[in-house]
Structure 1
Amino acid sequence: MRVISGSARGRTLKAVPGMGTRPTTDKVKEAVFSMIGPYFDGGAVLDLFAGTGGLGIEALSRGMDKAVFVDLDNKSIEVVRANLKTAGLAERAEVYKNDAERALKVLAKREAAFELVFLDPPYRLKFGEKLMQAMDELKLLEDRATVVLEYESSYVYPSCFGNFTELRKAEYGETSVSIYRYEP
């Protein structure tokens, strides 16, 4: 795994040891960024279920101002911190060990709002829609925010629900990626 483009281009990222995480491959990461726009002009990104932090780090490298990384696994938290340091982006990031739903509530108390969100929960958890609805209710999303949901391709999320509309969907083997726009 590596940073594909931007200020940290070419930096190699560490993987989380063991089989507990499923890092987004460079191929899928490249496809995601070609779908959501290759570069950004500032803003905040949330990488929920961060794993290695690869998606959030890529977004920082491509121009996001700051990022919040959340994961429940201690090894993942260590790897995210190491990868941020390797990429030279640690000063623009916050890393938290927390459950996704609790993390959203904590972020809401800080009145955080994100333009870009990466949701890559373990495939056995089919609650991307619930987390997106919670972000809406907690006012964690800027108008027209983009939510990237990665999930098992055998599962189908609705193309439209609440204030979210699916803009694009792509399949890469056992992985599906849906790009949602938030329009309250």
Structure 2
Amino acid sequence: MRVISGSARGRTLKAVPGTGTRPTTDKVKEALFSMIGPYFEGGSVLDLFAGTGGLGIEALSRGMERAVFVDMEYKSIEIIRSNLKATKFEECSEVYKNDAERALKALAKREITFDLVFLDPPYRLKHGDKLMEQMDSLGLLEDQATIVLEHESSFVYPDTFGKFAIWRKAEYGEVAISIYAYEQEKESVLTEQGGVST
């Protein structure tokens, strides 16, 4: 694995030992960033279920200003820290060992918001949409934020739910990537006077 483009282009990234993680291949990563970027002018990225941290690091290399990495496994946390050191992104990154839902609640207390989110939960867990709705309810997303949900191609998430709407989907063998846009005002109902009715 390596950083494909940007300021850390060509840097080799360590993989997590064993078979517990599924690093996004360089081919899929390159295709993904061509859809959502390919480059960014600042902003914050959340890499949930980060694994090696490869997606968040790629986003930093391509212009994101700040990143938060979350994973439950000690091995992953060690690898993420090592990869951040190798790419010189330690100072603009935070790394947390926690499960996804607890991490989201902790981030909400700090009033952090994100422009880009990578969601790659274990395939046995089909709750990517629930995590996205939790991010919405906790106020973690900037308006027009992009959420990249990686999942088994045999499992289909809804095209629209809550304040999320899919705008791109791609399949690479057994892997599917569903890219959602978030609109803060999607569900609000405006009165004739311009106020918000509750």
Tell me which interval the TM-score lies in, with the shorter structure as reference length: over 0.9
* In 1, Cα distance between equivalents of 2:31 and 2:159: 19
Question: Once the 2 structures are TM-superposed, how far is the Cα of residue 37 of structure 1 from its aligned partner?
Answer: 1.3
RMSD (Å), alpha carbons: 0.4
The corresponding residue for 1:33 is: 33
1:123 aligned residue: 123
Partners of 1:127 and 1:65 in 2: CA distance: 28
The aligned counterpart of 1:42 is: 42
Higher relative contact order, chain-length normalized (CA < 8 Å, sep 6+): 1
Q: For structure 2, list consecutive stretches of 5 or more residues without a partner in the other structure.
A: 185-198
Task: Tell me, in whole angstroms, the C-alpha distance in 2 between the residues paired with 1:173 and 1:31.
Answer: 14
Aligned partners of 1:57, 1:169: CA distance in 2, in Å? 22
The normalised TM-score by structure 2 is 0.92
Q: Deviations over 1:115-158 (max 9, x none)?
A: 00000011111000000000000000000000000000000000
The match for 1:165 is 165
Question: How many residues of Structure 1 are paired with residues of Structure 2 in the alignment?
Answer: 184
Runs of 5+ consecutive residues of structure 1 not aligned to the other structure:
none
Distance of 1:37 and 1:24 partners within structure 2: 17
Please give the alpha-carbon distance, in whole angstroms, between the structure 1 residues aligned to 2:32 and 2:176.
Answer: 11
For 2:56, the equivalent position in structure 1 comes to 56
In the TM superposition, structure 1's runs of 4+ consecutive aligned residues that sit over 6 Å from their partners are: none
Percent of aligned positions with the same letter in both sequences? Answer: 76
Q: Distance in 1 between matches of 2:130 and 2:74?
A: 25
Correspondence list, 1:1-184, <5 A: 1-184=1-184
Q: Which has the larger radius of gyration?
A: 2
